[in-house]
Structure 1
Amino acid sequence: MKILIRKARIVDSNSPFNGHTKDILVENGRISQIDSKIDVAADKIIEIDGLHASPGWMDPFAHFNDPGFEFKETLETGAQAAAAGGYTHVFILPNTNPVIHGKSQVEYIKEKSRGLPVNIHPIGAVSKNAEGKELAEMYDMRTSGAIAFGDGLNSIQSAGVLLKALQYVRTFDGTVIQIPDDTSVGTYGLINEGIISTTLGLPGKPIVAEELMVARDIKLARYAESRLHFTAITSKKSLDYILRGKESGAKISCSVTPYHLFFSDEDLMQYDTDLKVNPPLRTSKEKNELLDAVKKGLVDCIATHHQPHEWDSKTCEFEHARNGMIGLESSFSVLRSLGVDTETWVKLSATNPRKIFGMPEVIIKEGSEADLTLFDPEKIYRFEKNNIKSKSKNSPFVGRELKGQVIGIINGEKLFTNQN
């Protein structure tokens, strides 16, 4: 199959064509030619004003709910949502039924996702049933295709269990992913502890629950000399701890979510259940400091924390609503709408995740495998529910005008476009 991309501005700091507008010819899943003008017959020609091309984007934290909760999302609908959002690689959470805590569950995901438009990489649970008590068989999962390890939505509370996991994955240079959350602090908190929680009469979860865990886990990672990735960081103080940890030689990295950069707890005044997330939305001050850190390059990558929920899980009283929102299809537009430039976005979503998780580098050059995201960073559009490919529609961005639109992806010989 021949795919000809016309007049695309290449955004890839490692490419000799970075910053140049070129035609790109993809043949049988590989980039065969890059030139100012290519005149060949092609099976598919993509020519759109404002077209940009970058290495394929990666999301290191998304929930596809398969097996066990397919009424929320399936591998197929999750892959469609990821492709629509510009992602060629997605790491999926182990919080399924059964939990992805063994070789057979990893092999199920790898086999069932074969042939989908995006590459789906399972995160193996650190502990059996993701309960944080007894270590799972991580080596077996690694050899079967687990990309990283973590208990997904469940923060590992035991320092002893996390330390053993870090020491274990060090033997094969693996990475543990952790949501830093001391659940003994603000155990029943529904939103961020502060003026808004008091005003709304809802139990609050203090930000120190995150900061305590970040400080503890940095020490464990340093002691184990192993790789640890913090995801869903919401605190400027947590970021300061992480930066100091890096300077001291700890092998740590971090990601933030698009919604923690866009919303604050002030947006919860109407009890919008689509904004009920964990970690909770913080204050405007924390949100702005986090966004500033992203723009300054102090955050390593963006994780969507895509969590689909069926209608019943969100259309109910706030205290009974489930945590999470979908995010794969809106993440790029959210960051662009917040003023994050295209080069920074590509670094956060394509370059850095590959380095952190030890994946092969992707460079837009002749002869390389086609792993591309196509997008228009300036396009203004309205994010509508009827365009959502995810099986669930729990997004607070529905109806909002956003900047930056994904055109599609090329993943080897697989082409997906959002064009009608």
Structure 2
Amino acid sequence: MKMLIKQSKIIDPTSSFNGRTADILIVNGIIQSIGKNLSPKGVKTIDGKGLHVSPGWVDLFADFADPGYEYRETLASGSAAAAAGGFTDICIVPNTKPAIDQKSIVEYIRAKAAPLPVSIHPLGAVTKNTEGKELAEIYDMRQSGAIAFTDGKNAIQSSDIMVKALQYIKPFNGVLIQLPDNKDIQPHGLMNEGITSTRLGLQAKPAIAEELLITRDLKLAAYAGSRLHLTGVTTAASLKLIKEARQKKTNVTVSITPAHLFFTEEDLQTYDTNLKLNPPLRTADDRKALQKGIVDGTIDCIASHHIPYNKDHKMVEFEYAKNGMIGLQTVYAVGNTVLPEVPQERWVELLSINPRKILGLPVPSIEEGATASLTVFNPSQKWELTTDAIRSQSSNSAFTGRPLTGKPWGIVHNNQTNLSI
């Protein structure tokens, strides 16, 4: 593969070219040259006004439904959606069938994903079958390539299991990812509890269900002296708890979803099942707090929470619809649209640098002689996600047809690319 990316602004804090606009020549997956007015012969040229290039983006929390639910997504279709969204690396949750709760499943995924243009990192289940009852083979999965541990969409309810898992991963500096949701409180809630839920007549789940579990998990992480990552955090009170824990030196990081940056509970007045999420959409004040957390650095990264479902699971009454939406292709655009004042360096930090630090992945530097693992994007390009452009096997997105600003052009990774002229 020979490719020339013309006149792109390099956003990479580890690179000596950071902040400069230059041509980047890539030959057989290696950055051969970076400079002005490069004009090699016989190369594919990518040229567009306003292009930016950064180290490849990483997503911490996506459901690729393989094995067991391939009618919703496959590793190949999920990889295509990820590449279109600018992601070179994806962590996939263990809520599959069978669950990713033993080394053989980790090895199956790694082998099946090896030829794909995106690196897929299995997240090992904390408990067997992600049921929260008995610890899974954590160490064996780690040895086979599980990058971190979580029960994915099933929040760990048992304090005993949680603290044991935190203690178990500490010797190898592992990280436990938790989606905070206390299921003892209104387990069948359909949306955030408040005036809107009352007006819509929908059974509701209060914000305290999230905040209680966060309080517990922060204390357990401090007690175990281990690493905790909270994903899908949605309320102002939750962020306050996390800030207070950090002041006490608790080793906690946090990610939020693009949907919670963009929508609020008020958007559910149309009963759009694509907006039925867990955790649910919260209040306008909560959304404002999340947006502020992006600006002031409280939030470490953005996770897609890409959860594909086919029409049979979404084109039903709101009560019976499954939780979740796809999101890999719109992660960056949603954030850049909602917060246009945030500099591109901060988006690269949120999407590339910080998730790599959390997971222990190396940051690929944009330097001559380095392996090319790049995301190419245009911060000023206006576009809309159309149904035809969706690369996922499912199309349950609430962002389809909405005006967005900031478009990923694709990636160069694993000596492959989806970039087009």
TM-score class, shorter-chain normalisation, is over 0.9
Contact residue 94 and residue 100 of structure 2 kept, 8 A: yes
Partner deviation per Cα, 1:2-38 (whole Å, 9 max, x = no partner):
2111100011122111111001111221212111221
Q: Secondary structure, in 3 states, of the residue corresponding to 1:329?
A: helix
> For residue 351 of structure 1, what is the aligned residue in structure 2?
353
CA distance in 1: counterparts of 2:362 and 2:86, whole angstroms:
19
Q: Percent identity of the aligned residues?
A: 51
Cα separation, 1, equivalents of 2:156 and 2:95: 13
Task: Verify: 1:218 aligned to 2:257, yes or no.
Answer: no
Aligned to 1:291: 291
1:28–1:412 Cα contact (<8 Å) kept: no
Equivalent residue of 1:197, what SS? helix
In the TM superposition, residue 369 of structure 1 has moved relative to its aligned partner by 1.3
* Structure 1 stretches of at least 4 aligned residues deviating more than 2 Å after TM superposition: none
Superposed CA deviations along residues 142-193 of structure 1, whole A, max 9, x for unmatched, are 1111010000000000011011101111111111000011111122211000
Cα-Cα RMSD: 1.0
Q: Using the alignment, how far apart are the partners of 1:264 and 1:368 within structure 2?
A: 43
Q: What is the distance in 2 between the residues matched to 1:257 and 1:132?
A: 24
Partner of residue 375, structure 1: 377
Which region of structure 1 is more displaced relative to structure 2, 6-15 or 77-86?
6-15
Who is 2:119 aligned against? 119
The alignment partner of 1:160 has SS state of helix
1:165-314 matches, within 5 Å, as: 165-314=165-314
Aligned to 2:28: 28
CA contact (8 A) 1:52 1:375 kept: yes
Query: 1:64-99: CA deviations, max 9, x gaps?
Result: 000100000000000000000000000001000000
Q: What CA distance in whole angstroms lies between the structure 2 residues aligned with 1:42 and 1:6?
A: 15
Structure 1 match to 2:330:
330
Please give the alpha-carbon distance, in whole angstroms, between the structure 1 residues aligned to 2:178 and 2:135.
Answer: 15
Specify the alignment match of 1:411 in structure 2. Answer: 413
| Preserved CA contact (<8 Å) 2:102 2:124 | yes
Q: Which amino acid aligns with 2:388?
A: N
TM-score for the superposition, normalised by structure 2: 0.98
Instruction: Tell me, yes or no, if the aligned pair for 1:380 and 1:404 is still in contact at 8 Å.
Output: yes
Query: What is the CA deviation profile of residues 106-162 of structure 1, one whole-angstrom value per residue up to 9, with x for unaligned ones?
Result: 001000001101000000000001011100001110111101000000000001101
- CA drift at 1:42: 4.1
| Higher mean C-alpha deviation, range 64-73 or range 238-247 | 238-247
Q: Secondary structure at the match of 1:334?
A: helix
Contact 2:55 2:363 survives alignment (8 Å):
no
In structure 1, C-alpha distance between the alignment counterparts of 2:29 and 2:226, rounded to whole Å: 36
Give the gaps of 5 or more residues in structure 2: none
- The CA distance in 2 between the partners of 1:160 and 1:42, in whole Å, is 61
Distance 1:6 1:222 in 2: 48
Equivalent pairs, count: 419
Q: 2:280 & 2:148 partners in 1: Cα distance?
A: 25
Question: Do the aligned residues in 2 keep the contact of 1:30 with 1:412 (CA within 8 Å)?
Answer: no
1:340-395: per-residue Cα shift (whole Å, max 9, x none)? 43211100000000111111122211122111000110001121111000000000
Bigger shift: residues 241-250 or 350-359:
241-250
Q: Which of residues 389, 392, 409 is equivalent to 2:391?
A: 389
Asked whether the 8 Å contact 1:2–1:26 carries over to 2, the reply is yes
- Measured after TM superposition, the shift of residue 318 of structure 1 is 0.2
* TM-score between both structures, scaled by the size of structure 1: 0.98
Q: CA deviation at 1:247?
A: 2.0
